[in-house]
Each structure stands twice: as C-alpha cells, then as structure tokens.
Amino acid sequence: MTRSLRTSRIVVLGAGLAGLTVALRLAPRPVLLVSPEPLGQGASSAWAQGGVAAALGAGDSAALHVADTLRAGAGLSDAGIAALVAERAGAHIRALADLGVPFDRDSGGGFALSREAAHSAARVARVLGDQAGAAIIAALVAAVRRAPHLEIAEGLVADQLVVSEGAVCGVQLSGLRGGPVAVMTPAVVLAAGGAAGLFACTTNPRRICGQGIGLAARAGAHVADAEFVQFHPTALACTLDPAPLLTEALRGEGAVLINRDGHRFMADLHPDAELAPRDVVARAIHAQTTAGLAPALDTRAAIGGHLLTRFPAVSEACRRAGIDPVRQPIPVMAAAHYHMGGVATDARGRSSLPGLWVVGEAACTGLHGANRLASNSLAEALVLAAAAADDLAHLPSPAPAPRLDFVAEPRPSCPDAAGLVALRRCMTDHVGLLRDADGLTQAGRLLHRLSHSAVTQGFRNSLAAAHLITVAAQRRCESRGSHFRTDFPQADPAQAHRRMLTLAEVAPHLTEKEDRPCCQIC
C-alpha cells in the first residue's frame, strides 16, 4: 500500500545542472530536491567535459551563436529558443564564476574559450581543459547544501507521477524506509536526465536510461523529436561501461582522426574535417570501425605531453585503459551521448500536463533540433532552468513548509537487470547510429516482448522511452541530423518539422498504472 502525504514544497526530481539550478533559484520558496544518488554523483552534467557555449569572445555575438545552432539543428531548431539561450548564456557563466567555478582564463583575465565542432568561433567556456561539468556541479552542490529553503532527499527514486483531472498533483517516491510514498505537491519539476543509457555503448552514467521521459510519457505528457539521439564520435574504444569521453576540445586544439594506416580520413569527407558536425564525424568513425580500420584520435603533434595536465579526465581514462596518449593514438568509437528529444516544453519549462515543468536533457525545448551544437546542452540547462524557476515563482506562496525527513533504505537487487541488458542491446543493434525499417520493426517486437515481462516501474519507464524513440525513428522516413536511415539516406524538405508523440499512440499498455515500487537501479 502506497502512503500519501501533502506538502507545500515544490518537488524537484533530479540533481544535475538543471535540477540544482531550479532548486537554488526558487529561494526562498520551500523545495524538496530528490536525487537517486548522493548530490554530485550520477548526473550526466557532472561528466560534461567541453564546457558551456556562449558568445563571450571578441568578434563573436549572440546572433552568430544562434546561426550556428540553427545550422547544426538541420532545419528543426526553434529560432526563438535559440535566441533566448544565446542571449542569456553569458550572464549565467558569469554568475557561476561569481559562485566560485574556476573557469579557465586567458592572459588578460577573460574567459579562455575553446572552439568545438560546427561553431564558427571559439565560444566554449571550460574548466581545467575537461573539468567543466564536475566543477560547476561541485559549486552548485555546495550552494545547495547551504540553502535553508531546500530539503534534500538522497537515495530516492521517482517512479510514477500522480495525475488528477489531467493535471500533475504529486509524485510517487520509492526507496524509502516504510515503502513508497505519494507526495502531493503544488508543482513537480522533472530534471531527471536523458536517454543515452538505453544504448549498450554510451558515455552517460548507466542509470540515465530514459526514466524521466518515460515517467512523464506514462502520465500522458507529449514527447517531441524522440528519434534524435546524438552519438559522440570520440568515445574511448575499450571495454569500460560507460565508455570514457574524449572531449571535442582535443580536436578543437588540433588533434586529428586517423585510421590504422595513418590516413586522416575526415579531411576527405568534410571541409571542416575533424570539426565537422558530430553526426558526420560519428558516421565516419562508425564506417572506419566496421571496415576494420581501427579509427583513433591522434593528439601527439597538436597537444603532446600537455594533455596529461590540461585534460586530466582524458588522461585518467587513457591510464585506466592502458593507453599512453603522449606516445600513441587513442582508439575511438561512436557512443550514444545525448538525447535531443524529450518531454515537449515551452520557453518557461511547462509541459503539456499542468503542474509538470521539465528542464535539462529530459526536456525538448526545440533548441537542438535534429543535432545538438556542441556545449549548447549546459547553456540550455542553465537558461531554461532559470526560466522555469521564474515561472514557478508566480505560484501562490505557501506558509512555511515542515520538513518531510525522508529516510532512504539500502537498494535491493534489480529484478529487471537482465531485461535492461536486453533492452540496451536491442537499442544498439536496431535503433543506433544507422537505422532502417527492418531493424526498427524488429526493435518494436523486442520492446513489446520486454514490456510484458517488466517487474518494476523504473524499467517500465525506460521501456516507454525506448518505444517512443523507436516509433519516432520509424515514422521519420528520411535522414536528418543525428537520425540516419540507410533506406532513406537523403533529407526530405517536406519532413523539415518537429513531431510530437504520446505514449498512448505508441505503447498504450505501458500507460497502465502499477503499484510495484521501482528497483532504484534500472
């Protein structure tokens, strides 16, 4: 039996960049911040290496940033959202610097900016080369722990939204001593991350596998552009899971992609070579891999021994894999990295369900379109999370809210662990970097079979996200941005528009309510 309690606190689900930003900006309004992991752990944004994109350099402008964003989005980006993010991102970077984030500086004290793929200028603010995400999250976590308006519930998982008369009015939390609790609240902010962990080869924390999108979709929320999953071209090719990321800043500083014959293959394929759009580079890496040509990132001439100190995350990943990047090229592969699709929201973070705001990678604002411009994700998380918090500030102010004092229990073993392995393999084999009708149809059958053996809410949420991605990919009979159909290899101008789905259209059996608690792992 699920207990129920009522609170005047706004409930924020997720403690990555977007969730922490919303929670802090809502002060002094009482907030319950729910995180399945200890703060600072398990969030994709903490793993972000490149940094935050903003027009901070001489000769750059928000208009140029918008133009690059729209070009990368392959005709599907929302120009209004792109302008909002480009115009406000710089102020958020400065605010983070004031909070203590040690952004790299140039000799004049300005931000040291990197150029990444598909940017026309250097505009990525970074920290210690590849430590931006970790440094930003550390500063925000410290601020959150000091904030008196916040109650933090670590080790808990949201597994189902409570909906009444078409509006979200609460959320069921699992992992508590005494069993699951339905927390009735004035508003829920979903900041639960993306869906790249649905794939067997990913750069994301393994537990980030579409649960947030599935949670909202199962409650009836509209999902936009679900087919667009970005594969990062330079994950370290090794047996580690998740696969370590090799930041695009390495290529921005002159590192080149070569194959086992020493041939620099990107120079043959695109005028921007290694700094071509990510989808182009990822498919080139994939082609070299399937041809047995062992693609690798060669940092020796451009960066040399400086890599060990200027890019500590990359250096450590190479050490763990037994690679010396100063003396040898680093083997690479394409890996699922970021989901451009998600719960459809407006510029205030509002979803199609009253009472539910969605921010961060779980949301689809229209910024990224068919292909995310490098380092725009952190900029979007900051700007749109702040906008959502400002919108929530207009809700009636409550009286002081008592603490809920939730206590988490140790995590049980996951009864759906084998199912999750099968799901990730299915998505990689049939809904990955290259897609076709036969593979997508096969994926649909496998997902349907898995859904009927699911035990936990968490796994059902992941399956819901996988169904949405697969059906959206089936319906987009063209190739655009990160979505590539080998049976429809050209872009179709008639399909240059965003698409919405609901789970009721795709997998109505997954919208059924369940009483089983989530295992907290899948």
Give me the numbers of helices (H) and strands (E) for the chain, helices first please.
14, 20
Q: List Cα–Cα distances, 450 to 209, 469, 516, in angstroms.
A: 15, 16, 17
Does an H or E element contain 318, and which?
Answer: helix 312-320
Strand partners, 342: 224
Q: Which of 88, 123, 207, 278 is catalytic?
A: 278
Contacts of 386 (CB under 8 A, 6+ apart): 21, 22, 25, 88, 92
Residue 200, amino acid: A
- Cβ neighbour number for residue 490 with a 10 Å cutoff: 9
How, if at all, do strands 31-35 and 10-13 pair? parallel
HSE value, Cβ hemisphere, 13 Å, CA-based, for 462: 30
Told to judge if 278 belongs to the known catalytic residues of this protein, a careful annotator would answer yes
- Per-residue DSSP letter, 259: -
Q: Which residues of 340-378 are buried (b: 16+ CB within 10 A; e: fewer)?
A: bbbbbbbbebbbbbebbbbbbbbbbbbbbbbbbbbbbbb
Task: Report how far residue 496's alpha carbon sits from residue 500's, in angstroms, rounded to the nearest whole number.
Answer: 13
Task: Report how far residue 514's alpha carbon sits from residue 418's, in angstroms, rounded to the nearest whole number.
Answer: 20
Does an H or E element contain 234, and which?
Answer: strand 229-236
Q: Which residues are catalytic?
A: 278
